[in-house]
Amino acid sequence: MTLSLLIVQLLNGLQFGVLLFLVAAGLTLVFGVMDFINLAHGVQYMLGAYLAVTFVSLTGSFLLGLVLALAAALLLGLALEFLVFRHLYERDHLDQVLATFGLILLLNQAVKMIWGAAPLSVPVPEFLSGNVRLMDGILYPVYRFALIAAGLGVGALLWFVVEKTRTGMLLRAGASNAPMVSALGVDIRKLFMIVFAFGTMLAGFAGAMAAPILSVEPGMGDTVLILAFVVIVVGGIGSIRGAFVGALIVGLVDTLGRSSMNDLLRLFMAPASARATGAALSSMLIYLVMAAVLFVKPDGLLPAKGRS
């Protein structure tokens, strides 16, 4: 692998990590504050992408389409919160896992019926098309830079809201002791709804932003959901900082593993068997990393403070 390829792969890994962070942050926020396992979080990412497909082609403008898609994803999320999730907050984790699993079946099938099973795509917006020349011979798409910047921007905003605002203070307090916060006169139901809506919007945003560079298809949320799980387990459940570090690790390890495993194995294996083993190993690599992290630190790398 040459240096230029390595730089491109590092950027790809960073971009993938940022995307995973957006999904994982919502997932871990909802879990951290409400102790709620939402398997349907990945489906909300998928809905974000599909809504972006529809609204971008409807309005002809990427930005307008993105805003409308976000608004629609938010409304759908609130509707789900009202109809299903709100009745599950006080149930045990098994009930939450099951009910949200049912929602995945429903929404994946619904998406297939509405948009069809074939992959769809969104054109890269014109003002973000083209490439940036990093150095001689290395071009990198502007849109991917924009995605990294948007993801880091949202991450910074999230950090500001959680660490520096009053709402964030209540969130952190709610995460360590919800009944106490409620007893102090805070409307915990409303707080939960805000957290949930915010988490949904992050997932929807990630899906919509990913739409121009990934193929939009049914079940795309499932893959991301499981990767997001790995991210928050590696980072430490309920911790936003952990989700950020975990997402970058998973994004980089996965991308670099896929691009270099083949070459690496070829050093001491026949090309054909190196290709087969490489494919298997690179898919499994992040799970191996996760197992290794948990073996050393069962609570993840940066566990949330104040949780037992």
The amino acid occupying position 84 is V
Residue 117 CB, shortest distance to other proteins, in Å, is 11
3-state class (DSSP) for residue 69: helix
3-state class (DSSP) for residue 216: strand
Strand partners, 132: 140
Helix axes 220-235, 3-34, angle to 10 degrees: 80
Of the two residues 109 and 131, which places its CB atom closer to other proteins in the complex?
109
Of the two residues 87 and 189, which places its CB atom closer to other proteins in the complex?
87
Of the two residues 89 and 159, which places its CB atom closer to other proteins in the complex?
89
- Written as six digits, the tokens of 222 are 């499932």
237 vs 222: CA distance, rounded Å: 19
Strand partners, 83: none
49 vs 47: CA distance, rounded Å: 5
Residue corresponding to tokens 């990945």 = 42
Phi-psi region for residue 116, left (φ > 0), alpha (ψ -120 to 50) or beta? left
The answer to whether the beta carbons of residues 125 and 142 sit under 8 Å apart is: no
Residue 165 CB, shortest distance to other proteins, in Å, is 27
Residue 225 CB, shortest distance to other proteins, in Å, is 9
Of the two residues 124 and 232, which places its CB atom closer to other proteins in the complex?
232
Residue 286 CB, shortest distance to other proteins, in Å, is 8
Of the two residues 65 and 236, which places its CB atom closer to other proteins in the complex?
236
The answer to whether the beta carbons of residues 71 and 52 sit under 8 Å apart is: no
Residues in the chain: 308
Residue 295 CB, shortest distance to other proteins, in Å, is 6
Residue 249 CB, shortest distance to other proteins, in Å, is 14
Residue 241 CB, shortest distance to other proteins, in Å, is 17
Rounded (5°) CA angle 116-121-123: 150
Of the two residues 25 and 56, which places its CB atom closer to other proteins in the complex?
25
Of the two residues 93 and 189, which places its CB atom closer to other proteins in the complex?
93
Residue 218 CB, shortest distance to other proteins, in Å, is 11
CA-based max dimension of the chain: 68
180 vs 174: CA distance, rounded Å: 8
3-state class (DSSP) for residue 60: coil
Of the two residues 163 and 187, which places its CB atom closer to other proteins in the complex?
187
Q: Residues in the site for other proteins, rule: CB under 8 A?
A: 31, 37, 39, 84, 87-88, 90-91, 93-95, 97-99, 101-110, 112-113, 222, 226, 229-230, 232-233, 237, 276, 279-280, 283-284, 287-288, 290-291, 294-295, 298-300
DSSP 148-181: HHHHHHHHHHHHHHHHHSHHHHHHHHHHH-HHHH
